Chain A
Amino acid sequence: MTRAASKRDYSLVGRDAEAAVANGLAAAEWYHTEIPRKEMKALMQRSDGPALRDTAIWLGAIILSAAGGVWFWGTWWCVPFFFVYGVLYGSSTDSRWHECGHGTAFKTRGMNEAVYQLASFMIMRNPVTWRWSHTRHHTDTIIVGRDPEIAVMRPPDLARVVLNFFGLLDAWHAMIDMVRNAAGNIGAEEKTFIPEQERPRAIRIARIWLTIYVATIAVAASLGAILPLMLIGLPRLYGAWHMVMCGLLQHGGLADNVTDHRLNSRTVLMNPISRFVYWNMNYHIEHHMFPMVPYHALPKLHEMIKHDLPAPSPSIRAGYREMIPAFLRQLRNEDYFLKRELPPTAKPYRADLHDEIAVAAA
């Protein structure tokens, strides 16, 4: 499938980065639904209980599935165990990295940090670099030239999207970044969001990780078996599909360069297993509007503000049924996007943006 040249410059040091600053889209004030302070305070309250329970289940499932995979290695019985292990390693770590990075999963900061470091390693995201890139993602969500975490740029590179269901491109780039950082090199784009005093930590962690991967490869080579890599490293590939499946729905096919999360983010109702793996990040508009609300309080937040939000996609399948045609249409017209209708009870989109949006979405 031919991919047309983009009118958009997604570089963080390019033309659209300068334009976003000039147009007031960088670090702008965003719309949020009004919630009384007392209720907001209750929603933001931290607690260790839910995340301790979920993390005990999570770690237990990781250990059991890994043990099963090793025990049955060499037979077909290892496949279901590695299927589960892969999703836990290569997908659920995305949400653990995310929630613990926000510092909202646990009340105890040390617990957030421990899970954050572990999950960062498994998902292959330098914990320093990605802490800062995610900070920018929340400041400038889907602002072209500012947001370093735009999963599907326009026009969409669908081959890249498909390859990332198997982690191929992301893991490859993560490895290159790790080696580059381990060599002491922080890139020009990374320098736009990582403060100078944090860069040595990014380099130090990249060196530790590189050592772990080299050691794992050495053990695999000495054993003449791929099994060590099935436990460390490769699950980021064979288990990435669930993360990508959910992650694409967060913003895929929706508006860019707006300052209202109702326009550029998507809430999707999901089955309980996917919600456990994804730690409720399917409530994505709610999360972006109020990032201080812990994952376990997002369903309650959703109930409180749904009168002001577009109707959620009723399922993962429904989300894809609207998103894939939008991607295909963006191949012909990259300015096309899905404009989600608000219920009559909602405050309207900002009129100054709304008019432009109505034209582009037509």
Chain B
Amino acid sequence: MSNWVEACDADEVEEEDVIRFDHAGRTFAIYRSPDDEYFATDGLCTHEHVHLADGLVMDGIIECPKHNGRFNYKSGAAKGAPVCVNLKTYPVKLDAGKVFIEIG
């Protein structure tokens, strides 16, 4: 059964940036691409317990602020050392200027 959760206002996320969203004891990262598309992943780096929302978004990649681990935020794919495990991604939809993510 789908479980869509309102994460934030669409304009809370700047272009090519990320914000943190906490819900029910879990933490997520919400991204906005330069093409004005929205994406969502788990909020913590798979390498260590670090919030990705403090990292750098650049060219479709989120870089972890602690060790520069890189992920494709659209697919969740880990892009090399020191990250070896992919990020979990979540479906996203926009409705009435709000960003919703499906957290299952």
Would you give 15 A-B contacts (Cβ < 8 Å), ordered by A?
A27-B48, A29-B49, A37-B17, A41-B56, A46-B56, A103-B68, A131-B81, A135-B67, A135-B81, A139-B66, A139-B67, A195-B81, A290-B65, A291-B67, A292-B63
Additional 9 contacts, C-beta under 8 A, given A37-B17, A135-B67, A138-B67 = A46-B56, A102-B68, A103-B70, A139-B67, A195-B81, A198-B81, A291-B68, A292-B63, A292-B65
A141 and B84 alpha carbons, distance in the complex (Å) = 22
* CB-contacts of A7-58 with B (<8 A): 27, 29, 37, 40-41, 44-46
The 8 A CB mask of A131-147 against B (1 = contact, 0 = none) is 11001001100000000
Binding site for A on B (CB under 8 A): 17, 48-49, 54-56, 58, 63, 65-68, 70, 81-82, 84
Answer whether A291 and B81 are a contact pair too, CB < 8 Å, given A27-B49, A44-B56. Answer: no
Q: Which residues of B are found within 8 Å of A45, using beta-carbon distances?
A: 56
Give Cα distance in the complex from A45 to B59, angstroms.
12
Instruction: Assess whether B65 is in contact with A291, with CB atoms less than 8 Å apart.
Output: yes
User: Once the chains are docked, how many angstroms separate the CA of A103 from the CA of B82?
Assistant: 12
Indicate whether A91 reaches chain B with its CB closer than 8 angstroms.
no
- CB contacts under 8 Å to B, within A267-297, are 290-292
**A132–B80 Cα gap in the complex (Å)?**
12
A2 interface contact, C-beta 8 A: no
Contact among A29, A135, A290 for B82, CB-based, below 8 A: A135
A290: chain B residues at CB < 8 Å are 65
Chain B contacts for A29, CB-based, 8 A? 49
Any chain B CB within 8 A of the CB of A197?
yes
Q: Classify chain A: how many residues form its interface, as a range.
A: 20 to 34
Cβ of A265 within 8 Å of any chain B Cβ, yes or no, is no
Chain A residues with CB under 8 Å of B82's CB are 131-132, 135
Instruction: Determine whether A126 belongs to the interface, using a CB cutoff of 8 Å to chain B.
Output: no
A residues less than 8 Å from B49 (CB atoms): 27, 29
Provide the residues of chain A in CB contact with B84, threshold 8 Å: 195, 197
Pairwise interchain contact B81-A132, C-beta atoms closer than 8 A: yes
| A103 and B65 alpha carbons, distance in the complex (Å) | 12
- CB closest residue in chain B, given A292: B65
CB proximity to B under 8 Å, residues A77-104: 102-104
Which residues of chain B are near A291, meaning CB under 8 Å? 65-68
Nearest B residue to A194 via CB reads: B81
| Shortest Cβ distance from residue A217 to the other chain B in the assembled complex, whole angstroms | 32
Residues of A within 8 A of B63 (CB): 103, 292
Query: Which residue from chain B places its CB closest to the CB of A28 in the assembled complex?
Result: B49
Q: Is the CB of B68 within 8 A of A139?
A: no
Cα of A41 to Cα of B15 in the assembled complex, Å: 12
Q: Are B66 and A138 in contact (CB under 8 A)?
A: yes
Interfacial chain B residues near A195, Cβ < 8 Å:
81, 84
Cβ-closest chain A residue relative to B63: A292
Known: A27-B48, A46-B58. A292 touches B68 (CB 8 A): yes
Shortest CB–CB separation between residue B55 and chain A, in angstroms?
7
| B48 contact set on A, CB distance < 8 A | 27, 139
The 4 closest A-B pairs by CB, nearest first: A44-B56, A135-B82, A103-B68, A135-B67
Query: CA–CA, A292 to B18, complex, Å?
Result: 15
Residues of A within 8 A of B55 (CB): 292
Q: Which residues of A contact B58 (CB under 8 A)?
A: 46
Chain B residue nearest to A290 in the complex (CB): B65
Task: Say yes or no: A41-B67 contact (C-beta < 8 A), given A132-B82, A292-B55.
Answer: no
A197 and B49 CA atoms in complex are apart in Å by 21
- Shortest B30–chain A CB gap in Å is 13
Q: Which residue of B lies closest to A30 (CB)?
A: B66
With a CB–CB cut-off of 8 A, which chain B residues contact A198? 81
Give complex CA distance A151, B5 in Å. 49
Distance of A316 Cα from B63 Cα, bound (Å): 33
Pick from A29, A198, A290, A292 the residue with the most CB of B within 10 Å: A292
Nearest neighbor of A201 in chain B, beta-carbon distance: B81
Q: Which residues of B contact A102 (CB under 8 A)?
A: 68
